[in-house]
Structure 1
Amino acid sequence: MPVKKVETLIIGGGQAGLAASRHLGKLGKEHLLLERKRIAERWRSERWDSLVANGPAWHDRFPDLAFKCDDNAFATRDEIVQYLVDYAKQNNSPIRTGVEVTALHRNPDGTFRAETADGVIEAKNVVAATGAFQKPLRPVMVPDSEGILQIHSAHYVNPAQLPPGAVLVVGAGSSGAQIADELQRAERKVYLSVCPHDRPPRAYRSKDFVWWLGALGKWDAKTIAPGMEHVTIAVSGAHGGHTVDFRNLAHRGITLVGRTDGFADGKMSFAPDLKANIERGDANLFSVLDEADAYIAANKLDFPLEPDARTLEAMPDCALNPILSLDLKQAGVTSIIWSTGYALDFGWIKFDAFDDKGRPAHERGVSTKAPGLYFLGLPWLSRRASAFIWGVWVDAEHVAGQIAAR
């Protein structure tokens, strides 16, 4: 099989790869984009049925293509998939789907050799655009012998997928909070393990939270404050968009517990930190409201007042008298959904391109160890917004410029 040669090879056909292709195309640079399955595969097969975007359609998009839904709506999973397919067609992206790169090597002359089932591709430049959600992290805590269905949130589809009985959802970021909410609305008994989290308002004084994070400079934050890297953000575009309120979830019937600590003798143990975690989320909410009020005053903006935004429901009993140990069988728990995040997986890169913690060594997506190698779509690649559709656009423009200059 002959070796194919290309100037730049992009690996990954999601938002990062498509943004890179668009910018390289605008610069007239030859490139080829490979996707292991279908365009936007993770959106297709690793998201639940009712998922919607966490930001409104006017914001969660590329600047040169609007969603077909209303600008203030929250695009569904299927609308996001179609959007990315349409984007590839609009830009005539040179994409080959169903081609997985199994290994990437660096040649002695500094070029790269990608091995695929369809043959070898050699390239002067390679953009690793496989995204932020590569390898679901599922703690090995409850043995399979307990007879409890355990899945990561990446493999959750809908309530009907789960056997009858109560459900423990571990992790209360956007995914965990929305899945727990959906299960409770489906009349399931739900336990939700709540860790430290940020809880911005869905909207405040006529502007969505994504607008506020932009106006306040938070999307452009370039450094991770101590303790921020593993703090989740709880926000929801479901049901027309709403502020996630753990107090309200508890008053509706979800039993909240603290951070999941371990499992032994049929019992799950939880840290006594639930009340503190809820109060920390409330403090984060108020800090955003305070900054927003200050911004409005400083800029003399005529935004409507919203006094009810600071009203909190009573602290629920499950936080005042927390469950620290739960016998899963006695509680009727038949399923555990681990909404516990993702790890990067670059095992297919067969040369040193990583730091001492195994993370890509780069400066704004440009490899500092392997000239010609670039990364896109990673959390905090250059700023807080880097892993999102609108954020990767800026990073892709920078990377494409570096490739053109090279």
Structure 2
Amino acid sequence: MLDYVVIGGAQAGLSMAYHLKQMDKKFIVIDGEKEIGASWLNRWDSLKLFTPTEYNHLPGLKFDAPKGHYPTKVEVSNYFKNYVSEFKIPVQLDTLVTSVRKNENGFYVTYKGGEIETKNVIIATGPFHIPYTPPCHTKLSESVLQMHSNFYKNESQLQNGDALVVGGGDSGYQILNELSKDGNRTVYFSGNTNVKSLPQQFLGKTLWWWFTLIGFLSYSKYSWIGKKINSSIQPVIGTDVKEILSRKNVIVQGRTKDALKTDIIFENKTISTIKNIVWATGYRPNFNWIEGLELDGDGYPKNYRGVSNIDGLYFIGLPWMFTRGSATLGGVSKDASYLADIISKKQE
């Protein structure tokens, strides 16, 4: 019988593991991937953090990179591996959890090939679960290469011919930038063009220095300002949206409405020359494997700062769990510290 099972071995899970280690709890971190940091390594090759080094520290260990440096996905993965080694965190990889259910003594955490019994469970699986692709993608011909941004690595995956990027968030604009920057391919774009683009540097300071100064990442989701930020369109950081959209080989279309074979139907036009589509259309949460859990209207667990409706079941790393920074590499530490205090007081 363990004291805790932490499900998820990225920044949220490792932050909680640090505190459990300090409290001398008997625990294990389990993750469905084959190596620590895989959730980052699986993203596209050119991915870099929006936040500079000094804002990416997990509790107890600084990110080993120069101040002002924007780490690559490989550097993040290596940092996680060093973190596990530094604090001798017990990790069990290649362990995909299929169910969590409560019993009279605690919980059964079931995975393919085994089951773990524990008094408490901390869910740290992050905000990205099921890649979402609009239903019309099933109507397209097999001659059109389609992939979700979750599976996009680099332009070499695409076949010759025109491309379409659907989705106007950070991922969509970064991939649009990569596919169109050499000017050799016509790239259509279907997404919000009214988003604000914020530079990574402003008046000699990083954007995150300014965010910290004004408290942008620290406003509670229950506050008036927090609610306003949460309901507004999130800015694209570090990518010059106007410059990308002004390129001659980038053609902006309206919303993608439907598709049929090789025809892609936009709001004002139908185009049949597109050979590649990258769907940067986000993710849907999946917590159906946790028995008895109450979900909100967006499919996320009902909780207050990580404490769920089920005694002994906690969450960490959810989007806007308490603040805008709750799901970020640098922001998760505050939530982990709070949850550790709750756990500690409960044991008194």
TM-score by length of 2: 0.90
Q: Residue 94 of structure 2: which of 93, 98, 111 is its match?
A: 98
- 1:18-29 map, 5 Å: 18-29=14-25
Alignment pair present for 1:376 and 2:316: yes
2:304 match: 363
Q: Which amino acid aligns with 2:294?
A: A
Length, aligned pairs only: 338
Structure 2 alignment gaps of length 5 or more: none
Counterpart position of 1:221: 219
Pick closer, same or farther for the CA change 1:203–1:245 going to 2, 3 Å.
same
Instruction: Specify the structure having the higher radius of gyration (Cα).
Output: 1
In 2, distance between residues paired with 1:220 and 1:390? 12
For the structure 1 residues 228 and 357, does the alpha-carbon distance in structure 2 shift closer, same or farther, using more than 3 Å as the test?
closer
Q: In structure 2, what is the Cα distance between the partners aligned to 1:189 and 1:66?
A: 43
Indicate which of 44, 68, 77 corresponds to 2:64: 68
CA distance in 2, matches of 1:261, 1:222: 36
How far apart are the structure 2 equivalents of 1:176 and 1:359? 23
> Structure 2 vs 1, CA of residues 345 and 235 (structure 1 numbering), >3 Å: closer, same or farther?
same
Report the CA distance between 1:178 and its aligned residue.
0.9
Distance 1:232 1:153, change over 3 A: farther
Residues 166-213 of structure 1: CA deviation (Å, up to 9, x unaligned):
110011211111111111124322112231534223221111111111
Q: 1:144 to 1:193 in 2, by over 3 A?
A: closer
Unaligned runs of 5+ in 1: 237-242, 272-323
Note if contact 1:29-1:404 (Cα within 8 Å) is conserved in structure 2: no
Match of 1:205 among 188, 200, 203: 203
Percentage of pairs with the same residue: 33
Residue 123 of structure 1: aligned partner? 118
Is 1:136–1:343's contact at 8 Å kept on the other side of the alignment?
A: yes
Structure 1 residue identity aligned to 2:207: F
Counterpart in 1 of 2:236?
Answer: 234
RMSD: 2.1
1:42 maps to 39
Q: After the TM superposition, which residues 270-285 of structure 1 pair with which residues of structure 2 at under 5 Å, given as runs?
A: 270-271=266-267
TM (normalized to structure 1)? 0.78
- Render the CA deviation track for 1:205-250: whole Å, top value 9, x for unaligned: 11111111111111012225369457343123xxxxxx42324542
1:4-403 correspondence to structure 2 within 5 Å: 5-37=1-33, 38-45=35-42, 47-62=43-58, 64-107=60-103, 109=104, 111-142=106-137, 143-145=139-141, 147-186=143-182, 187-195=184-192, 196-223=194-221, 224-225=226-227, 228-229=230-231, 231-236=233-238, 243-251=239-247, 253-263=249-259, 266-271=262-267, 324-327=268-271, 329=272, 332-355=273-296, 357-367=298-308, 369-403=309-343
What is the CA–CA distance in structure 2 between the aligned matches of 1:188 and 1:70, rounded to whole Å? 36
Indicate the SS of the match to 2:146: strand
Cα deviation for residue 71 of structure 1 reads 2.1
The 10-residue stretch of structure 1 (17-26 or 30-39) with the greater mean CA deviation from structure 2: 30-39
**CA gap 1:150/1:122 in 2 versus in 1, 3 angstroms:** same
Deviation at 1:388, TM superposition (A): 0.3
Q: Distance in 2 between matches of 1:325 and 1:228?
A: 33
Call closer, same or farther: CA 1:401–1:379 in 2, change over 3 Å: same
**Residues 69-105 of structure 1, C-alpha deviation per residue, up to 9 Å, x if partnerless?**
3222211111111111111111111111112211111
- The amino acid of 1:56's aligned partner reads P
CA distance in 1, matches of 2:210, 2:258: 38
* Contact map agreement 1:250 1:256 (CA 8 A) in 2: no
> Tell me, what secondary structure is at the counterpart of 2:69?
coil
**Residues 140 and 262 of structure 2 are in contact (CA less than 8 Å); yes or no, is this contact kept in structure 1?**
no
Instruction: Supply the AA of the counterpart residue of 1:11.
Output: I
What are the Cα deviations for residues 90-141 of structure 1, in whole angstroms up to 9, with x where unaligned? 111111111221111111x261111123422111110000001111111111
Matched position secondary structure for 2:115: strand
* Partner SS for 1:263: strand
Residue type at the aligned position of 1:204: F
8 Å CA contact retained: 1:110, 1:371:
no
Asked whether the equivalents of residues 230 and 324 of structure 2 are also in contact (C-alpha less than 8 Å), the reply is no
Shift of 1:265: 7.7
**Counterpart of 1:389 in 2: which secondary structure?**
coil
